[in-house]
Amino acid sequence: MKYINLIASFIKGLIWILFSPKETYNGFLRMQYEKVKLKDMGDVVNLLNQFRFRRENNKNTLVICPLIEFAMGLKGSDFNSSILVKWAFKQIGIRGNIYNLESVMSNHKVFISDNKDWMVSNASFVRLDPYNWEEHALKSGWHANMHYKIAKILL
């Protein structure tokens, strides 16, 4: 099922690119502009501050490509912001993955660096303890009261 959703997201993104060439081109230019500006963590914070959050729905979760994030005007759900953060961290030499936090009430997507030093949840940057990163990630900020469990790596 995981791969079906991934393939469906890819196809939706491809269709969006094909039928929105002007937005895609403008997104490409913006992406290149931001890529040049990204030098350190402060630049990543500034980029994410431009992102506008919306409640998750089927329309804004189709994106798995940072190009489309820029083309759509840097707005969307926690999943969309995690894709943007993953791309931005990669530009400054930090790799990571998008994790799904699950609870009985809801799901939430976050970016966690491979070295387990950083977690980004929406617009919150959290410095993690690499030796106890799972517990620290789940007890940081507003996550503390949500009874989340780190379920799986999405991307």
Q: pLDDT grade, residue 60 (50/70/90)? A: very low
First and final CA of the chain: distance in angstroms? 15
CA atoms within 13 A on the CB side of 27: 19
Average pLDDT, the chain: 84
Lowest mean pLDDT among 41-50, 60-69, 96-105: 60-69
Higher per-residue confidence, 9 vs 30: 30
Residues 6+ apart with CB under 8 A from 134: 150
Is a pLDDT exceeding 50 seen at residue 136?
Answer: yes
Give pLDDT, residue 48.
92
Right CATH number for 2-153 from 3.30.70, 1.10.3470, 2.30.30, 3.10.620? 3.10.620
Per-domain residue ranges of the chain = 2-153
Higher per-residue confidence, 72 vs 113: 113
User: Strands 96-102 and 75-76: what pairing?
Assistant: unpaired
Contact 118, 94 (CB under 8 A): yes
Amino acid (1-letter code) at residue 101 = L
| pLDDT one-digit tens code per residue, 85-129 | 999 999 999 999 999 888 887 888 899 999 999 999 887 899 999
Higher per-residue confidence, 11 vs 127: 127
